Amino acid sequence: MYYEVVLVFHVILAVCLVVLVLLQQGKGADVGAIMGSGGANTLFGVGGASSLLVRATTGIAICFMLTSVLLVKLGTGDNIGVGGRVDVLEGLDQSNLKGPSPASEAAPEAPKAPDAVPPASAQ
């Protein structure tokens, strides 16, 4: 239950992060070019849109990273903890992981010669 809620929140954060990054101004671009001519300063205050967008992007990026870590923690259950480890081979058939059997280490058989060569037909 918690995993699904965090996953939905994580996807919403990802979409918001993409939108905020696309709204950021590039080098040499002016905020007025995005929002219209000069109206951006009155809409976002004296600092303009850039400081607001940077702060919002930073906050959402931090939340996105935290939900990423939380999703890993919830997805693996209690297998990971402080000093813990995940056994990746748990539940696998480990009978073939011990190395080759002695029979497979024997020298390979030499190829057999054909039994008989058919005679060439004289024409």
In this structure, is residue 50 part of a structural domain?
yes
Tell me how far apart the alpha carbons of residues 10 and 67 are, in angstroms, rounded to a whole number.
6
What pLDDT is attached to residue 81? 47
- Split at pLDDT 50, 70, 90, the class of 115 is confident
* Domain count within the chain: 1
Expressed as residue numbers, the domain containing 74 is: 44-78
Give residue for tokens 């967008």: 53
Closest to 30 (Cα-Cα) out of 48, 52, 9, 12:
48
Tell whether 7 is covered by a domain: no
pLDDT in tens, 56-114: 999 999 999 999 999 998 888 654 444 445 555 566 666 666 666 666 556 667 777 76
- Whole-model pTM over 0.85: no
Residue 2 lies in a domain: no
pLDDT at 17: 95
Asked whether residue 110 is domain-assigned, the answer is no
- pLDDT for 29-51, tens place per residue? 555 555 555 555 555 555 556 78
